[in-house]
Every structure is written in C-alpha cells, then in structure tokens.
C-alpha cells in the first residue's frame, strides 16, 4: 500500500494519500494544494477514486470539488453534513474500497455534528480529523458541536482501537505528525487517563477561543464541497492551467516534428509502385528534398497558422515533389527508349 502524509502550512492541515493497485483515496484535501496532489497522483500512477473529508472544515476550503472536476473523483462526506455536490454520502459502518484495501467509516460527532473517523482495514491506522488531535481534541463551540458527544465518540470509537493503532489527525500546530491509541490513552490531558466526562464538558465550555479567521468563508464554501460561488478557479490556478496548455502544445509540436519523415516514407512507398529500380532510386535521391521542403514549411507556418494548416502545407509540398519525380522518371524512360538501338541479327 502507498501512504503519504502531506501538509498545508497556511492552515496546518494534513492531507493523506492512500493507494493500492493503481487506485487512491485522498483524506482532507486542501483547495490551494490541489495541483500538488494531482502531480503526486500522476507521478505515482494512481487514479483518484474519491476525496474523503473528515468534516466540514472551518479553517480551510476543501479541494474535493476541484479534484472532482479534474479527475472525476467522487466527493465523500458525512450524510448529516448536508453538503452540496457530495455524491458519496457516508454513514457509520460504511466501507470505502480502493484496490485490495478499504477504510471503515466511524461516526465521531462532537467537534461538529458530521465528524467521521476513517479506520484502515486491520485497524493499524486511523484518520481522526479534529475529533482527536495529538494530546488534544477539536473545539466544540460551533457547527452543532457538543463536548459530551465528543467525549463519548472518542472513547467509544477511537480509543477502543488497539494500542498500537497509529492515529493521524487533520491538524497539528507543533510539527508532530502521528500518535497512537496507546499514547493518547496515557498522555492526552483532555481525554486520556482517568478523564471524566463532566470535567471534560466543563473544560470545553470555558475555552472561549476566537473563531477561526477563515470561518466565514470556509464553512459556506465547504458546504458546497469547495466549489467557488462563481464556479471559477482563483487567479493563481491560471498558472496550473497554463502549464497544462503548454504540455498540450509540446505534444502537438512533437507530432508535427515527425510529419515530414512520415510523408517521406509514404511518398517512397507510393513511388515504388512504378516497379522500376531506376525510378525508385530517383525517389530516394529526391525524397530528402521533399523532407527539407516540408521542414521549411513547418518552421515558416508554425507561428501564424495552426497545426491543421501545417499539415495541409506539408501535404501540398509532398504532392509537388511526388509529381516532379514522376515527371523526371517518365522523361528518363522516354529518353532511354529514344536512343536505344536494336540488337543486330546474326
């Protein structure tokens, strides 16, 4: 199985790529990082089946819609979140398959009412979103959050996994990348050890944290699965699109560069139908002139005209050279017959 942990420094968000047998899933993609994710998928030869958000984020915009537009991946999210354009609504107990593997969906509401945790088959890896962070947890004071519900979710759905199960959160602000069930049971100050639900609720209700800076923009956008209001990409994405156009232009130029050689080969094969060795030799001698002429036409017409015009002119040059060779060959044959003397009889 292929596994990559990716990072967005602006929001301290982790994105996870899981792949098996050329199929892949992305967990919590970030809109601004979509070109990075697409490039990695291409390099690893993976087809993106679906993007899986752990919840409706308030600190960044998901890349789900943009990735769907580019590679047709499905958009998966908790059904209770009510996000538009999600074509794979998820509920507790669902399984999302990729290659020979699958992720089990566990509902872990509390941070928001639509939080999900994804557990890899074998229960040796789990992706907890904001429900359980490394030595912490997500806040519970907006988006239908509930501290009591979060306490129960973590203790019933996450901390019941094997001690050695690795836990990958959606964020970390200290540069720590992974924890384990055993570690969080022992060292999480909010939810581990002998933590009491009543104390946890009191603590969470009195955090008094400021709202995330991008909340007013991120939450509405994520309820549209990351689709911009005008359905257009930000200005920065013009660079990525221009790169794709440049790649297309390079491919077109590569095809055009081989056209003269193809014309020469076809031209030579046609002339061989004359069934005359001398005429065939003329083709091979004059053929390079046709290639040179076609190459000149290609260079001259490369900028002002399109690829179709280039092919048309190349074909015209080929026809002119072909007819010229036929005339030369015919003239040579007629001259040979004119000066040939018959053999005298004995």
Interatomic CA distance for residues 297 and 302, integer angstroms: 8
Q: Which of 117, 115, 112, 158 is nearest to 139 (CA)?
A: 112
- pLDDT-derived band of residue 196, with 50, 70 and 90 as boundaries? very high
The predicted model gives 335-342 an average pLDDT of 53
Mind listing the pLDDT tens digit for each residue in 100-129?
A: 999 999 999 999 999 999 999 999 999 999
Residue 322 has pLDDT above 70, yes or no: no
Is residue 35 within 8 A of residue 240, CB to CB? The reply is yes
pLDDT at 286 over 80: no
Whole-model pTM? Answer: 0.70
Q: Which residue has the higher pLDDT, 324 or 99?
A: 99
138-152, 205-219, 260-274, 326-340: the lowest-pLDDT one: 260-274
pLDDT band, very low/low/confident/very high, at 346 (cuts 50, 70, 90): very low
Instruction: Point out the least confidently predicted range of 27-31, 85-89, 279-283.
Output: 279-283
- Tokens (6 digits) for 242: 């221009």
What average pLDDT is seen over the chain? 83
Work out the pLDDT band at 231, boundaries 50, 70, 90. Answer: confident
**CA-based torsion, 208, 213, 217, 222: positive or negative:** negative
> Mean pLDDT over residues 186-205, rounded?
96
Q: Minimal CA–CA distance to 222: which of 87, 74, 85?
A: 85
**Is pLDDT above 60 for 326?**
yes
Mean pLDDT, to the nearest integer, of 260-281?
Answer: 54
Do 16 and 51 meet the contact criterion of CB atoms below 8 Å apart?
Answer: no
Query: Helices marked H in the chain — which ranges?
Result: 34-44, 64-71, 147-153, 181-187, 197-205, 215-222, 237-271, 277-301, 307-339
Q: Which range (132-146, 170-184, 274-288) has the least confidence? A: 274-288
Q: Per-residue pLDDT for 341 more than 50?
A: no
Q: Is the pLDDT of residue 251 over 70?
A: no
Residue spans per domain, the chain: 2-234, 249-337
CA dihedral 147, 151, 157, 160 (to 10 degrees): 170
Q: Which residue has the tokens 């973590």?
A: 154
Rounded Cα distance between 317 and 259, Å, is: 12
- Percent of the chain beyond pLDDT 90? 66
Cβ atoms within 10 Å of 191's Cβ, excluding its own: 22
In this predicted structure, the answer to whether residue 274 has a pLDDT above a threshold of 80 is no
State yes or no: pLDDT of 52 exceeds 70: yes
Which contiguous run of DSSP H or E holds residue 125?
Answer: strand 125-129
CATH classification for the domain delimited by 2-234, as one of 3.40.630.10, 3.30.479.10, 3.60.15.10, 1.10.10.10: 3.60.15.10
Predicted confidence (pLDDT) at residue 178 exceeds the cutoff of 60: yes
Q: Residue 19: phi, psi to the nearest 5?
A: -135, 150
Task: Return the bridge partners of 90, or none.
Answer: 78
């Amino acid at each position: 199985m292929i596994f990559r942990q990716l990072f967005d420094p602006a929001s301290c968000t982790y994105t996870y790529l899981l792949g098996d047998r050329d199929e892949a899933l992305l967990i919590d993609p970030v809109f601004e990082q979509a070109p990075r994710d697409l490039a990695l998928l291409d390099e690893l030869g993976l087809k993106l089946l679906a993007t899986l958000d752990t919840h409706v984020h308030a600190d960044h915009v998901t890349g789900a819609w943009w990735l769907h537009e580019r590679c047709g991946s499905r958009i998966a999210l908790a059904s209770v979140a009510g996000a538009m354009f999600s074509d794979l609504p998820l509920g507790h107990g669902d399984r999302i398959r990729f290659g020979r593997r699958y992720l089990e969906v566990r509902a872990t509401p509390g941070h928001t009412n639509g939080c999900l945790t994804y557990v890899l088959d074998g229960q040796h890896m789990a992706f907890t979103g904001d429900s359980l962070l490394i030595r912490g947890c997500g806040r519970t004071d907006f988006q239908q959050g509930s501290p009591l519900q979060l306490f129960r979710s973590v203790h019933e759905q996450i901390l019941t996994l094997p001690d050695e199960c690795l836990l990958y959160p959606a964020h970390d602000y200290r540069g720590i990348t992974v924890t384990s069930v055993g570690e969080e049971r022992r060292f999480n100050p909010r939810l581990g050890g002998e933590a009491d639900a009543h104390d946890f609720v009191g603590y969470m209700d009195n955090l008094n944290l400021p709202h995330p800076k991008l909340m007013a923009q991120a939450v509405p956008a994520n309820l549209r699965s990351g689709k911009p209001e005008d359905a257009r990409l930000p200005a920065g994405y013009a660079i990525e699109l221009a790169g794709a156009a440049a790649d297309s232009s390079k491919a077109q130029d590569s095809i055009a560069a081989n056209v003269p050689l193809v014309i020469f080969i076809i031209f030579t094969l046609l002339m061989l139908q004359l069934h005359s060795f001398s005429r065939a030799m003329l083709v091979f001698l004059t053929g390079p002139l046709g290639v040179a002429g076609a190459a000149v036409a290609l260079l001259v017409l490369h900028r002002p005209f399109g690829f179709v015009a280039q092919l048309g002119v190349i074909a015209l040059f080929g026809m002119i050279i072909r007819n010229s060779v036929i005339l030369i060959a015919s003239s040579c044959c007629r001259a040979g017959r004119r000066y040939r003397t018959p053999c005298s009889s004995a």
